[in-house]
Structure 1
Amino acid sequence: MEPHPTGVRHPDRPEPLAPPGAAGVIVEEIRRYPVKSMLGEALPHAQVTPAGVAGDRRLALRDLTTGRVVSAKHPRRWRAMLTLRATGVDPVRISLPDGRELTTGDDVDAVLSTLLGAPVTLIATVPPGATLDRARPDEVLAAGVTAPVTVDETPLGGGTTAETFVDFAPVHLVTTATLDRIAGAAGAGQPADAARYRPNLVLRTTGVPGFAENGWVGRHLRVGAELVLRVMAPTPRCAVPTLAHGDLPAAPDALRVPARLNRVAPVPQLGPLPCVGAYAQVVHPGRVEAGDPVRLD
């Protein structure tokens, strides 16, 4: 996004994300992931609270051996999480690869412990000092998902006070311009699938360059009639986008391309990392629907 021609942005006169004469920007998809690191669901509309999309990442599995939150960011250990799909809110339904379906009222712990090959328990409260294991993505790319690589213990929710199992911030968004840029650089015959990057909002853009989200940090997005988000930082990527997601096959280029084209520092102390999309906090909660217009203040 180019700077405002006067050098000053007027909060009472939001400028469009797309240039004059373009079709504008809309919410193309709304996504929710009721259980952290499981596949989620697309929604026609949702209420967005200060904690994010209602029902998003409200549950997680806890590894009873280490005490850490289970995450496919450690693919050698937990990539099977992406064979499970969680939908709904109360109760949450968990669909298994063999077609069975559990709800949160069933004996979920025993079934999932057997499927994942480790003792786990489903939790709804974020433990104090909650952490997860994150394999270094460059090493995963080089050695493969089954190889032993360096794994870092990483805290959860550093960009929010909400009691949910988000990695950093309540809302994650990505533009179709960025997805198209990744697909084009990878030589794919179709657009990059947003599901690999696990966003809450997919924004359909026109006339906007790929990785435009980098330039939105510190600015507000007005989504529909009520929702206002503040963009906090580009989203650093782990190995998860490269993994098989349900019926989607493994795709190493989902990380290789941003590693080549969009290494930026989401915060100065981390240094340059491959980033796709952006994290946002909720300034004003509200309802969002697919097709809602989006404007940048």
Structure 2
Amino acid sequence: MTGVAEAGANGTRVAGTVERLRRYPVKGLLGEELDRAEVTGRGLAGDRERALLDLATGRVASAKRPRLWAGLLGYTARTTTDGRVAVSGPDGRGADERELSEALGREVALIDERPPGATVERAVPEEVLARGSAAETDFTVNELGRAAPDGGFFDFAPLHLITTSTLRATGSEAERYRPNLVIRTEGEGYVENAWVGRELAIGPTLRLRVIAPTPRCAVPTLRHGPLPRRPEALRIPAERNRVVPLDGMPALPCAGVYARVVVPGVIRTGDRITMD
């Protein structure tokens, strides 16, 4: 389970091919499919540049606390041709802050700057598996984007990658894990676990460094637009792929990996990915 398919030039190895590109203009909402994207030090251009702020608590709305925010995943954000962000509801019609507040039962505001000390709440995986969307929050993620540059609303790092090998292993759709890149791979199992610490070359200039496995939470189990609830999207990694994401953390159910940008560039679907 190396996650490497074939030899490339200059001692590199082919890791896979970019099968899909996904962008999420508003954190927590459904996103949009791309064929091409600019990638800067802060990730895909336009990704997670906005979020919904719970005006009662000052916390960023996130379906990681499903009892309050599972309804976020019924709404879709897309970037218009003039660079604005448009939000639409389950019926496809546009939705503004007032409509979102009414539907979610909390007064929210769409923001594009991270407030000082912004936090998100998260239910631990075992609580989610036991109680589903009724799981209470057991801890708070104190700061967004610990490994991301300033700006944006990232949980940890500016890019999230997942392989088709991992999707086959979990039996779940990519949309449930909210990746930026879906990478077509030939290996079996959670092949990207072996990529941590390695550098990936994509296209003529883009270079990424894989920095950690991605711990999973309640979000993959929830309804995503037309996709029904699927507890197995968390249960299967919990049973088969518990790894330690970072030193000092316990083994957690993981699927996919986080990456940071070493050299910016352009990425397109179909691009071959090689590994140092």
TM-score, length of structure 2 as denominator length: 0.94
**3-state SS of paired residue (2:254):** strand
Partner of 1:196: 176
- Alpha-carbon contact 1:74-1:151 (below 8 Å) kept: no
Partner of 1:218: 197
Partner of 1:21: none
Partner of 1:288: 267
- Alpha-carbon contact 1:34-1:87 (below 8 Å) kept: yes
- Alpha-carbon contact 2:212-2:245 (below 8 Å) kept: yes
Partner of 1:153: 140
**Distance (whole Å) between structure 2 residues aligned to residue 234 and residue 222 of structure 1:** 19
- Alpha-carbon contact 1:50-1:162 (below 8 Å) kept: no
Change (3 A) 1:44 1:148: closer
TM-score, length of structure 1 as denominator length: 0.87
What is the percentage of aligned positions where both structures have the same residue?
A: 51
Q: CA deviation at 1:46?
A: 0.6
**Distance (whole Å) between structure 1 residues aligned to residue 86 and residue 205 of structure 2:** 30
Cα deviation 1:263-291 (Å, max 9, x = unaligned): 00101212100000000000011111100
Q: CA deviation at 1:97?
A: 1.8
Matched, 1:54 2:42: no
**1:49-128 matches, cutoff 5 A:** 49-88=40-79, 90-102=83-95, 108-128=96-116
Matched, 1:240 2:227: no
Partner of 1:141: 129
Change (3 A) 1:40 1:255: same
Which of 128, 139, 158 is equivalent to 1:170?
Answer: 158
**Distance (whole Å) between structure 2 residues aligned to residue 31 and residue 3 of structure 1:** 22
**3-state SS of paired residue (1:98):** coil
Alignment root-mean-square deviation, CA? 1.8
**Distance (whole Å) between structure 2 residues aligned to residue 249 and residue 217 of structure 1:** 32
Segments of structure 1 that go 5 or more residues without pairing to the other structure are: 5-9, 18-24, 103-107, 184-191
**Distance (whole Å) between structure 1 residues aligned to residue 51 and residue 137 of structure 2:** 23
What one-letter code is carried by the residue in structure 2 that aligns with 1:232?
I
Cα deviation 1:71-109 (Å, max 9, x = unaligned): 00000100000000000152111011233214xxxxx32
In the TM superposition, structure 1's runs of 4+ consecutive aligned residues that sit over 4 Å from their partners are 1-4
Partner of 1:20: none
**Distance (whole Å) between structure 2 residues aligned to residue 296 and residue 228 of structure 1:** 10
Cα deviation 1:37-81 (Å, max 9, x = unaligned): 100011011111110000000000000111000000000100000
- Alpha-carbon contact 1:233-1:279 (below 8 Å) kept: yes
**Distance (whole Å) between structure 2 residues aligned to residue 58 and residue 84 of structure 1:** 16
**Distance (whole Å) between structure 1 residues aligned to residue 231 and residue 147 of structure 2:** 28
Segments of structure 2 that go 5 or more residues without pairing to the other structure are: none
**1:10-49 matches, cutoff 5 A:** 13-17=11-15, 25-49=16-40
- Alpha-carbon contact 2:2-2:191 (below 8 Å) kept: no
Q: CA deviation at 1:120?
A: 0.8
**Distance (whole Å) between structure 1 residues aligned to residue 240 and residue 92 of structure 2:** 39
Higher CA-based Rg: 1
**Distance (whole Å) between structure 2 residues aligned to residue 118 and residue 177 of structure 1:** 39
